[in-house]
Amino acid sequence: MVQVDKYLYHMRLSDETLQDVSTRFRKEMEKGLGVDTNPTASVKMLPTFVRSTPDGTEEGDFLALDLGGTNFRVLRVKVSDNGSKKVEMENQIYAIPEDLMRGSGTQLFDHIAECLASFMDQLQIKDQKLPLGFTFSFPCYQTKLDESILVTWTKGFKSSGVEGRDVVSMLRKAIRKRGDFDIDIVAVVNDTVGTMMTCGYDDHNCEIGLIVGTGSNACYMEEMRHIDLVEGDEGRMCINMEWGAFGDDGILNDIRTQFDRDIDMGSLNPGKQLFEKMISGLYMGELVRLILVKMAKEHLLFGGKLSSDLLTTGHLETRYVSAIEKEKDGLLKAHEILTKLGLDPSHEDCVATQRICEIVSTRSANLCGAALAAVLRRIKENKGVERLRSTVGVDGTVYKKHPHFARRLHKVVRRLLPDCDIRFVRSEDGSGKGAAMVTAVAYRLAAQHKARQEILEPLRLSHEQLLEVKERMKREMEQGLAKETHDEATLKMLPTYVCATPDGTEKGDFLALDLGGTNFRVLLVRIRNGMRRSVEMHHKIYTIPLDIMQGTGEELFDHIVHCISDFLEYMGMKGVSLPLGFTFSFPCYQNRLDEGILVTWTKGFKASGCEGEDVVGLLKDAIHRREEFDLDVVAVVNDTVGTMMTCGYEDPFCEVGLIVGTGSNACYMEEMNNVEVVEGDEGRMCINMEWGAFGDNGCLDDFRTEFDVLVDEHSLNPGKQRFEKMISGMYLGEIVRNILIRFTKRGLLFRGQISERLKTRGIFETKFLSQIESDRLALLQVRSILQHLGLESTCDDSIIVKEVCTVIARRAAQLCGAGMAAVVDKIRENRGLDFLKVTVGVDGTLYKLHPHFSSVMHETVKQLSPKCEVTFLQSEDGSGKGAALITAVACRFREAGQH
């Protein structure tokens, strides 16, 4: 024993060496995946175009063809998913005569088609067009799931005119030529992939296939973003590694022994598949034979005697190795086998032979485990998890028949990867059932994709539809401006009494108040003109307690004046009377610049005695009650107008303001003669459109989907602000959530399981839309966002969620663009111009933070208003700085006597 161990010292690999082999294999994988390194890589890492493993909902009737040796099989596989996940199979084996293996490709495929026909006759299914999966276990190059180009024949096949051609089209041709049946060839599969898919049906964690039989190979699910050879970064794809060729570039030379070199020299393909020759069944017995011969020659065995049988290649079969290693009668078997080989073994010879077998098969399991560990480590890093739970589907005679191989393989993988929980599952008929599974999954994916697209179709808007939205917006604008239709109009088109944008000569110190939510700001804005033109701001934020928001109007305005007083003291400006601009972001009617009559409270405010009152009057009363200071309230401003004014200070072409944040609104400079509700025809006035209400009269009903209706019905103000509910940040997440629920109910997402979280309104915040659609984010991060929402998602689920987010945000940006196009075209037509150059000042979180919203909106405006050159400028602080600038412009006019 000791003698054998010493003699075969180089075959006994330490864990340190195995880790090293594992690291080398990992590098080879990366080479095979890289577009520049692939041509010279020995491990080819072939894309299989299988993008998903089974999820257990597959069903239907499928055919499978399995061609990988001298026999081939035709199978019919019935998969049913009525809760029981049953797979029924019938199959027939057909021989391939020797002359056909060496004849022409046409004859070979005619023979296959004929066998297929007779099988379908037998089952009386010739009249059905069934989907078929084709297991073709030869080295192939794939560019699609249903196309496979044979690189080279192996296993004794020499059929002419097939190498370099697509085997699917050859089979289709042979079937068409017959004309007595038709099938739909959906997928060509390698047997390793079939192995993974068969196990995947029963265990959804299965993402690796392994074969250790006559030959050896493995496949696994890789992230698309790492597969340079295939377009696209979304999702995963199964990679057929062809790992038998590991070492063909010499990287394993220090580990290969003289026996490995001898085996390679005597093989049919010297220098090729060197890793396979160290581990697979075709060579294991031969390795043992070579060792026995060499030891006998050196008088270490059989008393130095050799027999002609022992000297003949292939006479010690791998199944003998399995027999000799059996726990109970292994030594007896050794005696029996050695005697059959013409030797006269002593007891010591039998013990030594058993030990040699053990060392050779253990090395095989160890090397196999080292490569497998590299694959698992890669999957673990791809997923970015602390502990990986994964399943390996395994097939092959060595794994299944050798008494200790499987146990040794499991042990070495666990030693090399202590931070992974790996399950090994024996695959049943990967090449038959597996091919049908690949086909069933492809069918399920296609059907689900179609169903999802049908649901999303109404949310994808064509150029014609967007033009129609633009026309309707224009019509509604005109109704809001005209005197006789103004009262019924949904677009209120409110006059703001802001009659000019800044011209750069503004100067002075101004106060601004900004009230539009639970926080309230007081600002001091210093505007300088001339050479040192600048705007300098100081501000302080105050909260408004809930009891004051919902108390009396007097209490609310007393609180506001108290905050102003505190701010003036803080700035050391007590007793100074300054002009003040008041940003009051609630719906108001104005008859003058310095008056705003509150139509109705929104955003949770309920202070009594304010609705129908002038808020400037309420503010002035509160200032007089305090008797501390006096302020000159010059302007009441809506935040959209403030946005336009801030940008107008930077860019004289700015005549439009747009907000797309939590809510949405727009304003623009309209000709006075079109503003019929205000006296006078000279000059221009800014119109606050309140465009969120567009569609409240039903004029957008043919564009609203069932999901928009659902969101509207469950909102705080059903029937109101319908346009806003299709485009603004407060609602997009809700639209997405409703679509995801619909998908899940129809079994198109999350395996049909609706979690309690998904049923919760408002969980899908709009910031998630921005995060999910960010291009830098891998799907991994989409999954973690979904996990944070309590949604367990697969990789495929993440792609679908991302697609829904894209569709909804795109539609929002296009609708917003259509509205904007109506506005800029109206300005152009007002002025009788063939071409208009105009700037839009924009603010709002959706516009500023979403990765694609702004670019889609810009593109839409460009397409719908080709006669306008529109520039978009991001506004900084429209509600603070903007209010001060409006005040400054008003003071400029006042001083010039243009009052």
Burial 224-239 (b: 16+ CB within 10 A, else e): bebbeeeeeebbbbbb
d(CA 558, CA 380): 62
Q: Which residues contact 883 (CB under 8 A, 6 or more apart)?
A: 512, 513, 514, 523, 581, 582, 583, 635, 637, 642
Residue of 191, 248, 558, 639 marked catalytic:
639
Residue tagged 């509150």 (tokens): 598
8 A C-beta contact, residue 192 and residue 239: no
Question: Cβ distance 541 to 552 under 8 Å?
Answer: no
> Could you give the CA distance from residue 425 to residue 290 in angstroms, rounded to a whole number?
33
CB 667 within 8 A of CB 689: yes
Dist. CA 650–CA 653, nearest whole Å: 9
Residue 55 annotated to the active site: no
- Please state at what angle helix 615-626 crosses helix 553-570, rounded to 10 degrees: 60
Residue partners of 625: CB distance under 8 A and separation at least 6: 558, 561
Task: For 648, list phi and psi in degrees, rounded to 5.
Answer: -60, -25
DSSP annotation of 423: E
Calpha distance 222→46 (Å, rounded):
11
Report the C-alpha gap between 420 and 675 in whole angstroms: 72
Burial class of residue 845 (count of CB atoms within 10 Å of its CB; 0-12, 13-18, 19+): middle
- Tokens for 434? 């597996």
Dist. CA 487–CA 218, nearest whole Å = 74
**Cα 888–chain centre separation:** 50
Read off the tokens for 735. Answer: 């639209």
- Please identify which of the residues 585, 664, 793, 879 carries the catalytic annotation: 585
Nearest 10 degrees: Cα torsion 746, 749, 751, 757: -100
Q: Does residue 755 carry a catalytic annotation? A: no
- CA pair distance 55, 191, nearest whole angstrom: 20
Q: Give CA angle at 777 (776, 780), nearest 5°.
A: 150
Tokens of 824: 């800029």
Strands 131-136 and 60-67: parallel
Question: What are residue 809's DSSP bridge partners?
Answer: none
Rounded Cα distance, 250 and 418, in Å = 30
Q: Alpha helices, DSSP H only, in 179-279?
A: 191-202, 258-265, 274-279
The secondary element (H helix, E strand) that includes residue 16 is: helix 15-33
770 noted as active-site residue = no
Q: Are 771 and 732 in contact (CB under 8 A)?
A: no
- Catalytic site residue from 76, 172, 521, 722: 521
Residue (of 802, 884, 300) closest to 578 by Cα position: 884
Whether the CB-CB separation of 58 and 84 falls below 8 Å is answered with: no
Please report how the helices 779-788 and 795-830 are oriented relative to each other, as an axis angle in degrees rounded to 10.
Answer: 100
Sequence-distant (≥ 6) Cβ neighbours of residue 163 within 8 angstroms: 150, 151, 152, 153
Q: Are 684 and 461 in contact (CB under 8 A)?
A: no
CA 898 to chain centre: 59
Tokens read off for 710: 């659902």
Structure tokens at 112: 């296959």
User: Which DSSP symbol is given to 758?
Assistant: G
Between CA 413 and CA 646 the distance in angstroms is: 65
Beta partners for residue 208, in sequence order: 220, 392
Residues with catalytic function:
521, 585, 639
